[in-house]
Amino acid sequence: MSAIPFDLHALHAFVAVCEGGSMIEAARKLGVTQSAVSQLIKSLETQSGMLLLDREFRPSRPTAAGRLLLELAQDLLEHAQRVNERLLDASKSEIAQFRLGGVDSFSATVGPAIVRALSKNAREISLWSGLTPTLSEQLQRRELDLAVCTESTVNDSRIEQRLLFSEAFVAVVPRSMAVADGDYRKVFESLPLMRYTKRSVIGQQIERYLRHIGLDAARRFEFDATDPLLNLVAWGIGYAVTTPLCLWQSRHCLDDVTVVPLPASQLGRRNFFLLSREGEWTGLADEISVITRQVLEQQISPAIQAVLPTLPKDAFSWK
């Protein structure tokens, strides 16, 4: 890397001399001695290798090189001032600029509310969506500042993980299908299961849960997104096991489906974790935790319960 040709203090002093007409006026403006201004100008000339002031005149006048530097210096000093202001903003607010990643269902539902709530204090916000393994890797490579994932898989003591909330797995059947007294197995026997792909964390979690409750369905249909899966349920083609947040993500299907509660189990819940680097973004992580709970408690949960009254009361949990 090449050396910086001059420092900003010296450049600032040079501009002050040219604009003020003398070193005395420049010294007064900068709040330093005339000798200090003279030394800064000499160091600037030494660093640049050019004579910048013609001292045969009283007061000194800029040489041809000096006039060119004066023309270019203003933009450079203004840019330096903007950089300084942004650094000051960042020191006052931890969230002047941040990059948040989340699994698709979180980014599509809770994510916009987080952006709206934090937009007043943040100059730049990036919200990414993706799969848990990818988000974890992006956080470790510092491509993300915080990530909301659905599995605690990061084996790195420098990464802090806090449980944001959990949601229950539920079955979803076509609204035309009647489920008497919670006898969901009879309905499931008459329809094929619309599965999430095993490549996804939610697909793996649901498979573990289905084995746990003894539900063995033939493997015929697999999807890597909620929309096509729920569309097929809404059309009466099959049933699915999913979560309330995924349902809300694809809420255009809710008028045509019915939720069937499944047996309660620790394996029957999907946990959301907020990941961040130890000692970094602590204040922002606290804010995101509060906003997430408020959005789920006050907006999403009441709205989805109104459309799907059979949704379990403990669909979302913070314990």
DSSP single-letter state for residue 300: I
State the average pLDDT over residues 210-231.
92
Residue 279 binned pLDDT confidence (cut-offs 50, 70, 90): confident
| Residue corresponding to tokens 């100059």 | 123
Q: 26-48: buried (b, 16+ CB within 10 Å) or exposed (e) per residue?
A: bbeebebeeebbbebbeebbeeb
CB hemisphere CA count around 314 (13 angstroms): 15
Residues 6+ apart with CB under 8 A from 206: 169, 195, 196, 241, 242
Domain with CATH 1.10.10.10 in the chain: 8-92
State the average pLDDT over residues 256-260.
91
Q: Per mean pLDDT, which range of 42-46, 55-59, 72-76, 200-204 is the poorest?
A: 55-59
% of the chain surpassing 90 pLDDT: 45
**Pairing between strand 61-62 and 97-103?**
unpaired
Domain with CATH 3.40.190.10 in the chain: 97-166+271-307, 168-268
**CATH assignment, 168-268:** 3.40.190.10
Q: Per mean pLDDT, which range of 25-34, 229-238, 282-291, 301-310 is the poorest?
A: 25-34
Selection from 180, 187, 172 nearest residue 307 by Cα? 172
Alpha-carbon distances, residue 233 vs 173, 178, 204, 209, 227 (angstroms): 6, 14, 20, 20, 10
Residue 318 binned pLDDT confidence (cut-offs 50, 70, 90): confident
Residues 6+ apart with CB under 8 A from 233: 172, 173, 174, 194, 239, 240, 253, 256, 257
What's the pLDDT at 189? Answer: 83
State the average pLDDT over residues 188-213.
92
Structure tokens at 241: 């096991």
What's the pLDDT at 90? Answer: 54
What's the pLDDT at 52? Answer: 82
What's the pLDDT at 1? Answer: 42
Cα–Cα dist 280/101, whole Å: 16
Task: Give residue-wise pLDDT tens across range 77-132.
Answer: 888 777 776 665 555 555 567 899 999 999 999 999 999 998 887 778 899 999 89
Residue scoring higher pLDDT (59 or 105) = 105
Maximum distance among all Cα pairs of the chain, rounded to whole angstroms:
103
With 50 as the cut, is the pLDDT of residue 141 above it?
Answer: yes
Residue 195 binned pLDDT confidence (cut-offs 50, 70, 90): very high
With 80 as the cut, is the pLDDT of residue 245 above it?
Answer: yes
Candidates 3.30.1330.10, 3.40.50.450, 3.40.190.10, 3.40.50.12160; correct CATH number of 97-166+271-307? 3.40.190.10
State the average pLDDT over residues 130-156.
88
Q: What are phi and psi of 196, to 5 degrees?
A: -80, 145
Task: Give residue-wise pLDDT tens across range 1-46.
Answer: 445 566 788 888 888 888 888 888 888 888 888 888 888 888 888 8
Length of the chain (residues): 319
State the average pLDDT over residues 196-201.
91
What's the pLDDT at 181? Answer: 59
CB 237 within 8 A of CB 190: no
State the average pLDDT over residues 289-315.
93
State the average pLDDT over residues 304-308.
92
Most confident of 7-16, 64-73, 178-187, 284-293: 284-293
What's the pLDDT at 176? Answer: 84
State the average pLDDT over residues 67-86.
79
What's the pLDDT at 119? Answer: 85
**CATH assignment, 8-92:** 1.10.10.10
Torsion of CA 275, 93, 126, 155, to 10 degrees: -20
CB hemisphere CA count around 39 (13 angstroms): 5
